[in-house]
Amino acid sequence: MINDSEHWNAILRSLPYHHILQSWQWGELKRGYGWTVERMAFKWGERGPVVAAAQVLARRARPLPLAVLYVPKGPAMDYADPGLRAAVLDALVIYARRRRAIFVKIDPDVVLATGVPGGPDDAADRLGMAFVTELQSGGWHSSDDQIQFRNTVQLDLTCTEQEMLGAMKQKTRYNIRLASRKGVAVRSGLVSDLELLFAMYAETAARDAFVIRPAGYYLDAWRTCLNAGLAHVLIAEHEGLAIAAVILFCFGDRVWYMYGASCSAHRERMPNHLLQWEAIRWARQQGFRVYDMWGAPNDFVQDDPLWGVWGFKAGFGGRVVRHIGAWDKTIARFWHWFYMVAIPFYLALRRSMVHRRQAGPPVEG
């Protein structure tokens, strides 16, 4: 177990498939919201180097006296090594049994395929396909609860700015220029801007009809990572008024665009296009190699909830990356069924009965 933040993050950065959700700061954030955290480093032999790491989140599976375990975007290791894969997964299962867990969930950023399914650039990834087969044969199953986005859009920051502009759709380049012509300016944000950012984020959620957590969660996450140098904020303004913002998370060789917000006013000035371009430029100037736009449709059809967002992101010319997603290993089969099926059924039935009581008896005509 590792008990030092700088040591843990240094280990994580040294490993392939590292991720901000495996960072020390993200674990401490989750600790404040009902999870316990264990950080495991794996070595070949007592004196060998660390070859894998897993930040394991655990919480009680109420009302049961058991736990559920989750390794967000992990473990981090060289997935091209089949022996290492098997050893780490076995160790996680042993740990889950010791913790009296119902199941353990992993969702590493292992690529299953790239490109839009069925499109001209659709290509399966051999390593991802082999790992999925290995998981299935080892008793793991694709989870019904995909906590993180399975698919995303990534930009290669080792390209020149001209190459990236050239890969964009013409309309996207036009909107970037339009925002500048219409007086939109972009500045870096500070911790003191976070309340403003949440107000914009809440406005965005209400306008676009998606559910968000209470303000405290976001403010804690943003403040924690900003103070640790793991986040960066950019704010678009018009005549000194903040009209849009992006919050970037940074770790290792990549940047994730996790949160975006905008006011309903001034949207015709296209601030989000200029913000994305300035975020990409900032990430490239800082020496990061990958810009991850954090989220693409699970199914590339128009009724997918992310279809509209996908249209915006696709304009920047990135590559669609489809990951293997989340996989669960059931440790206690009966309790897994009880937790995943019986309890939700009971709670839904109880809510229905309460609703009928509140509605009162039917009115006779």
Q: How far is the C-alpha of 320 from the C-alpha of 153, rounded, in Å?
A: 5
The DSSP bridge pattern shows strands 140-142 and 36-43 to be: unpaired
User: Tokens in use for 77?
Assistant: 């290791």
Comparing 5-147+325-353 with 152-323, is the CATH topology the same?
Answer: yes
The whole-angstrom separation of Cα 19 and Cα 165 is 27
How far apart CA 166 and CA 173 sit, in angstroms, is 9
Distance CA 130, CA 120 (A): 23
C-alpha separations of 155 from 204, 229, 310 in Å:
25, 22, 14
Amino acid 214: pLDDT: 95
Q: What is the CATH class of 152-323?
A: alpha beta
DSSP-derived secondary structure for 270-303: -HHHHHHHHHHHHHHHTT-SEEE-----SS-STT
Q: What is the phi/psi pair of residue 119, to 5°?
A: -85, 175
CATH of domain 5-147+325-353: 3.40.630.30
CA 181/CA 175 separation, integer angstroms: 10
3-state secondary structure of 154: strand
Given a cut of 50, the residues of the chain with pLDDT beneath it are: 362-365
- Three-state DSSP class for 179? helix
Contact 175, 221 (CB under 8 A): no
Domain ranges of the chain: 5-147+325-353, 152-323
Residue-level pLDDT at 356: 61
Are 115 and 123 in contact, with CB atoms under 8 Å apart?
yes
* Separation of alpha carbons 221 and 29, rounded Å: 6
220: enclosing H helix or E strand: helix 215-227
8 A C-beta contact, residue 59 and residue 67 = yes
